[in-house]
Amino acid sequence: MKSLARNLGLLLLIVLCTVLVASFGSGSFTVHMIVHMGVVAVAAPLIGYGMRGTPLDAAPGVARVTPMLASFIELVAVWFWHLPALRALADASLALSLLEQASFLAAGALLWRACFRPAEGRLAGVAGLLFTSMHMTLLGVLLALAPRALYGEGDVSCFGISLSAAADQQAGGVIMLAVGAFAYLLGGIVLLAGLLRDGEALPTEKPRC
């Protein structure tokens, strides 16, 4: 099962890289966001789950990362690459765009693996995924509701469809909001359901004397 998840994640990465390369130069933020969310919210959890029990999973730098720390690392990576100046540089360089997506993959796989690690406790994993859902949702809302285009100007081509930069950014923000909120919230719910199913002890209030 772990091998299947890892292989599916790697196959999806190949597809997403193909989309990125084929659409590079279109200037579409929506295409960027489809690739981005495919990497962090679909490929990363598959690869993170597939890492269980591998030598990489036991590496000191990976093993010591807690779910909340991993969530903060992903927050920094995601918000950093969506600064308008960095976004413009990535849109102008295919190598930089690939580096950007590689950083998203590394941060995402680290997060999901930390949350899947039993030694950390499933409540810690739930907290890490819910916090990630919150900051992904916040950024998606800010992008969707921004009063002006933050990335580029004029019209862009989104899979052959001409959109204004503002409309393209709004569509990308909605994708981030919907996919990010759903994927991380679902992951948190799955971990919580497993915790309750297995009868893992939950913190309870001590009885008063």
Give the domain ranges of the chain. 2-196
* Residue carrying the six token digits 């909001």: 177
pLDDT tens column, 100-156: 999 999 999 989 888 887 655 678 888 889 999 999 999 999 999 998 888 878 888
30-34, 109-113, 119-123, 205-209: which has the highest mean pLDDT?
30-34
Q: Is 205 exposed, middle or buried (0-12, 13-18, 19+ CB in 10 A)?
A: exposed
pLDDT-derived band at 85, boundaries 50, 70, 90: very high
pLDDT tens column, 181-191: 888 988 888 88
Per-residue pLDDT at 120: 53
Q: With the CA atoms of 126, 130, 132 and 134 taken in that order, what torsion angle do they form, in degrees rounded to the nearest 10?
A: -170
pLDDT score of 197 more than 50: yes
Per-residue pLDDT at 115: 85
Average pLDDT across the chain, whole number: 85
132/145 Cα distance (integer angstroms) = 20
54 within 8 A of 48, measured Cβ to Cβ: no
pLDDT score of 167 more than 50: yes
Q: Name the phi and psi angles at 157, rounded to 5.
A: -105, 115
* Percent of the chain's residues with pLDDT above 90: 46
pLDDT score of 202 more than 60: no
96/123 Cα distance (integer angstroms) = 36
Q: Which of 72, 167, 64, 159 is nearest to 114 (CA)?
A: 64
Instruction: Count CA atoms within 13 Å of residue 115 on its CB side.
Output: 35
pTM here?
0.84
pLDDT score of 77 more than 80: yes
* DSSP code for 26: S
108/60 Cα distance (integer angstroms) = 18
Per-residue pLDDT at 192: 81
